[in-house]
């Protein structure tokens, strides 16, 4: 009897211990969720909610399987949160450093214009450059806050006689915007033909799709163009490509986009144009460039008859850019096969 009673008491003790351990585990999960470092309000709130849900499920009863599953989920949540937090903090750090460098450059310009404050601004510039090399984001924010207070005080003094400095800054901004425009133009232009490149063409197609605007796509491909390169060299081929693009550009409307897709393949993107009208336009355009091309090779003027095939497709609502291009490309090769035959 004594032995049985002892076993019963020990069983009760183990049950209470298991119950206490279950409660402690659930509390630990909840505490971990609430203790997440608030890197981003949205990100932190999402993962806290996931951990609250996990704790709530555990309160309903713990089994060996549910405990193992909870451990896996907890590890995954913490790992995911750590990865996203590091990525977000890295992005924020880069952005803060960019801002610091821009402020440093602005301060340099103002310092050059305001001699009475040049020493303070020069010091401010050096401080910003030093901060931009730091890797500790909280410390960057702390130091930046102090420097902003200092800059505000200097700005009050500089503003009294800084019209020249302000105009200088405006001039720098105008130059900067102009350079940005030039860079954007270069990034979207084919260097040989000066028409839009593939990047710009893809963006134009996507913009039309996003705006749900009707458009048709014409794909042009020169027949036997490779023979020009093989026989007279790439310089002759480049001349033909340039003239071809010029004839193509002159045959379309101002709202249309001509782009060189690659090699001797060109696209015409025609907004507000259905399939019937696009086929009519394709026929008209082909009459403009299916002619002789003249270029100089080996000291002599050469005349070559260049023909091109065209594939036409009208965008269907809900269709992707790849889909309409594929349909136009299929029509192109059907046309090319018919021409060669």
Tell whether 77 is covered by a domain.
yes
Q: Which of 153, 187, 221 is the last residue of a domain?
A: 187
Q: Under a CB-based contact definition with an 8 Å cutoff, are residues 172 and 109 in contact?
A: yes
Query: Look-up: residue for tokens 């019963």?
Result: 8
Q: Under a CB-based contact definition with an 8 Å cutoff, are residues 40 and 88 in contact?
A: yes
Domain identity same for 26 and 62: yes
Q: What order do you get walking across the sheet with 308-314 strand by strand?
A: 257-262, 265-271, 215-222, 308-314
Give pLDDT tens digits for 179-201: 656 666 777 888 888 999 998 99
Domain identity same for 168 and 272: no
* Phi, psi of 308, deg, nearest 5: -135, 145
What is the rounded CA–CA span in Å between residue 269 and residue 277? 13
Would you state the pLDDT for residue 132?
Answer: 64
Collect all residues with Cβ–Cβ distance below 8 Å to 18 and sequence separation of at least 6.
none
CA distance to 42, 193, 316, per residue, from 252 (Å): 49, 16, 22
Domain identity same for 26 and 143: yes
Helix and strand counts by DSSP (H, E) for the chain:
11, 6
Domain identity same for 135 and 217: no
Q: Under a CB-based contact definition with an 8 Å cutoff, are residues 236 and 264 in contact?
A: no
Q: Which candidate, 127, 159, 162, places its Cα nearest to that of 142? A: 127
Would you state the pLDDT for residue 180?
Answer: 56
Give pLDDT tens digits for 33-48: 565 556 566 666 776 7
Biggest CA-to-CA distance, the chain: 121
Q: What angle do CA 223, 200, 205 make, to 5 degrees?
A: 85
Kindly report the average pLDDT of the chain as a whole number: 75
Tell whether 192 is covered by a domain.
no
Q: How many CB atoms lie within 10 A of CB 151?
A: 21
- Counting the structural domains of the chain, the total is 2
Domain identity same for 143 and 271: no
> Does 68 or 97 have the greater pLDDT score?
68
209-220: average pLDDT = 96
Tell whether 193 is covered by a domain.
no
Collect all residues with Cβ–Cβ distance below 8 Å to 92 and sequence separation of at least 6.
137
Domain identity same for 128 and 91: yes
Would you state the pLDDT for residue 73?
Answer: 74
Tell whether 170 is covered by a domain.
yes
> Does 242 or 102 have the greater pLDDT score?
242
pLDDT band (50, 70, 90) for residue 336? confident
Residue 51 pLDDT greater than 80, yes or no = no
Q: Which candidate, 278, 260, 262, 280, places its Cα nearest to that of 324? A: 278
Would you state the pLDDT for residue 160?
Answer: 56
Cα-Cα-Cα-Cα torsion 14, 17, 19, 22, nearest 10 degrees, comes to -120
Domain identity same for 16 and 145: yes
Percent of the chain with pLDDT over 70: 50
Residue 106 pLDDT greater than 60, yes or no = no
Q: Under a CB-based contact definition with an 8 Å cutoff, are residues 296 and 232 in contact?
A: no
Residue 4 pLDDT greater than 60, yes or no = no
Q: Under a CB-based contact definition with an 8 Å cutoff, are residues 50 and 77 in contact?
A: yes
Domain identity same for 104 and 249: no
Q: What angle do CA 222, 228, 229 make, to 5 degrees?
A: 105
* Phi, psi of 222, deg, nearest 5: -75, 135
Q: Which candidate, 53, 62, 71, places its Cα nearest to that of 21? A: 62
Domain identity same for 171 and 247: no
Tell whether 111 is covered by a domain.
yes
Would you state the pLDDT for residue 325?
Answer: 94
Domain identity same for 164 and 20: yes
Question: Is 95 exposed, middle or buried, given 0-12, 13-18 or 19+ CB atoms closer than 10 A?
Answer: exposed
Domain identity same for 231 and 144: no
Q: Which of 187, 221, 250 is the last residue of a domain?
A: 187
75-103: average pLDDT = 63
Would you state the pLDDT for residue 313?
Answer: 96
Look up residue 251 and give its DSSP letter.
Answer: T
Domain identity same for 165 and 225: no
pTM: 0.50
Residue 326 pLDDT greater than 90, yes or no = yes
Q: What CATH number corresponds to the domain at position 324?
A: 3.30.70.270
Identify each DSSP E strand in the chain by its residue range.
215-222, 257-262, 265-271, 292-297, 300-305, 308-314
Cα-Cα-Cα-Cα torsion 278, 284, 290, 291, nearest 10 degrees, comes to -160
What is the rounded CA–CA span in Å between residue 90 and residue 137? 9
Give pLDDT tens digits for 119-149: 666 676 676 667 666 666 666 666 766 766 6
Structural domain of 278 = 198-340
Q: Which of 129, 154, 187 is the last residue of a domain?
A: 187
Tell whether 288 is covered by a domain.
yes
């Amino acid at each position: 009897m004594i032995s049985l009673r002892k076993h019963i008491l020990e069983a009760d003790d183990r049950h209470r211990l298991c119950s206490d351990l279950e409660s402690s585990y659930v509390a630990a999960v909840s505490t971990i969720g609430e203790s997440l470092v608030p890197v981003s309000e949205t990100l932190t709130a999402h993962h806290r909610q996931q951990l609250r849900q996990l704790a709530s499920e555990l309160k309903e009863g713990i089994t060996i399987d549910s405990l193992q599953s909870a451990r896996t989920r907890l590890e995954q949540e913490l790992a995911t949160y750590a990865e996203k937090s590091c990525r977000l903090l890295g992005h924020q750090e880069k952005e803060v450093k960019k801002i610091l460098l821009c402020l440093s450059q602005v301060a340099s310009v103002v310092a050059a214009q305001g001699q009475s404050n040049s020493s303070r601004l020069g010091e401010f510039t050096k401080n910003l450059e030093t901060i931009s090399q730091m890797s500790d984001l909280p410390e960057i924010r702390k130091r930046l806050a102090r420097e902003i207070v200092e800059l505000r005080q200097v700005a009050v003094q500089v503003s009294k006689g800084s019209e020249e400095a302000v105009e200088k800054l405006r001039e720098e901004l105008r130059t900067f915007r102009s350079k940005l425009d030039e860079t954007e133009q270069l990034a979207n232009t084919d260097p040989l033909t000066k028409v839009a490149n593939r990047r710009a063409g893809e963006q134009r197609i996507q913009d039309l799709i996003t705006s749900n605007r009707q458009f048709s796509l014409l794909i042009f491909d020169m027949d036997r163009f490779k023979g020009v390169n093989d026989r007279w060299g790439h310089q002759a081929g480049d001349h033909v490509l340039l003239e071809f693009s010029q004839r193509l550009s002159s045959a379309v409307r101002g709202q249309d986009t001509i782009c060189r897709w690659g090699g001797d393949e060109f696209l015409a993107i025609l907004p507000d144009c259905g399939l019937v009208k696009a086929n009519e336009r394709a026929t008209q355009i082909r009459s403009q460039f299916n002619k002789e091309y003249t270029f100089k090779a080996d000291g002599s003027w050469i005349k070559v008859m260049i023909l091109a095939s065209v594939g036409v497709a009208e965008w269907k609502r809900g269709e992707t850019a790849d889909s309409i291009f594929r349909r136009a490309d299929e029509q192109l090769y059907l046309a090319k096969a018919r021409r060669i035959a």
